[in-house]
Amino acid sequence: MYLTKEEERIYNGEYGEVLEVAMNLLVSLGEIYGAERLIEISSAQVSGVSYKTIGEEGLSFLKDISRGNVRVSVPTTLNPAGMDLSRYEELNFPRDFVEKQLEIIGCFKRMGVEIGCTCTPYLTGNLPSCGDHIAWAESSAVSYANSVIGARTNREGGPSALASALIGKTPLYGYHLDENRVPSYTFEVEGELEDLSHYGALGSLVGRIVKNEVPYFIFKNPISRDRYTKLKALGASLAASGGVALYHMEGITPECRMGKIEVDTPERITVDREDIEEEFHRLNTSEEKPDLICIGCPHCSLGEIKEVVDFIVKNQVGRSGFKCDLWVCTSIHIKAIADRMGYTEVIERAGGKVVCDTCMVVAPVEEMGYRIIATNSGKAAIYLPSFCGSKVIYGSTWDVLRRGL
């Protein structure tokens, strides 16, 4: 792999051990995947933040590298942590867990990483332009950035995203190259998909078929209101069920609009409402009462929070409150606006919590006693059984909220 003189100096340790390790990691990756050289990135997004997912080993790695007095060289944001970084006591996060999680956050802070822990960095200021090269790790954000924004990133792991953040570069391979952005399956989607959960179910179904290839969607009916929230749900679920990092959609995603995508796929599959209903059954693993309802995977936009508020107001939930816990997960940035709009107050008066910086998958929900979780997220429904040992109730936003009455 070709390295500039400066890159060689970093590689040989002339700028210290941490950057040497980071550069060696990027070069090794580049060599494995046949990259010719490194390219500059405009931003990074780092995963591996929750103590639940990285454990003692990850914490000790972060302590080691953050002692080296190095700082990220491009704007870098973090994936969700294992707890709300402001309200961990009120939400009863286990004390030992809190201490470890705060240590992890301290390490990232020392390296200059922005402590806005979210899987929707594109809603909170880490917004690349179409065609930008970036190094992002969170799979749902990777899918959104590649597909909906038209930026270019591979599905980085936590360490490679952090290495790219420190160096400001990534190896040129995979989704950074035009030839790997070509679709290999076409899905014609019939019938109207109204709710986010329909897009989650579609992603779950299609991800299982295409695995880590690139699907191309043709929607026979236009996507009704709040299109980008629905694409966020679709991409998250595609990435969780398969390893999809990029999809295209006729007339909607930027590379299609710019006429860059040739659609001549060997496979053409029709999906109708019956297929979507079947996927709902597959994702549902419980008929019992939930002990936690979770909305916000990926983290809620303001519109999604408003939908919870509409439900509460319409059903006058405020009077008696929900009969189980309710987490509406979002970023601290979106919560600040929800606070101003009065949405947080409505939700919290009804017994719910607007939870920041974390989610039902990377928080230690099993340790907190939650066994049956109701969600409108396809990604959460796929991950909760294996990551948290939970049973899942999967349904539309209003259906899962109704389960708490």
- How many CB atoms neighbour CB 7 within 10 A? 18
Answer for which of 29, 161, 236, 283 binds ligand F3S (CB under 6 A) is 236
Size of the site for ligand F3S (CB under 6 A): 15
Site for ligand F3S in 64-103 (CB under 6 A): 79-80
Angle between helix 273-283 and helix 196-210 axes, rounded to 10 deg: 90
- Nearest distance, CB of residue 385 and ligand F3S, angstroms: 13
How far is it, in rounded angstroms, from Cα 40 to Cα 113? 18
**What residue has token string 């983290």?**
299
Using rule CB under 6 A, residue 140 touches ligand F3S: yes
What does the block give as tokens for 156? 């980085």
Q: Per-residue x/- mask for ligand F3S, residues 98 to 127, rule CB under 6 A? A: ---------------------x--------
Using rule CB under 6 A, residue 235 touches ligand F3S: no
Using rule CB under 6 A, residue 333 touches ligand F3S: no
Using rule CB under 6 A, residue 145 touches ligand F3S: no
What does the block give as tokens for 348? 């919290």
How far is it, in rounded angstroms, from Cα 204 to Cα 403? 23
- Nearest distance, CB of residue 196 and ligand F3S, angstroms: 12
Nearer Cβ to ligand F3S (261/384):
384
Strand partners, 330: 356
- How many CB atoms neighbour CB 80 within 10 A? 28
Q: At 2, which amino acid appears? A: Y
Nearer Cβ to ligand F3S (3/368):
368
Residues 6+ apart with CB under 8 A from 101: 50, 51, 81, 82, 83, 85, 88, 93
Answer for which of 81, 359, 373, 401 binds ligand F3S (CB under 6 A) is 359
Using rule CB under 6 A, residue 361 touches ligand F3S: yes
Contact set with ligand F3S (CB under 6 A)? 79-80, 119, 140, 236, 297-299, 329, 359, 361-362, 379-380, 383
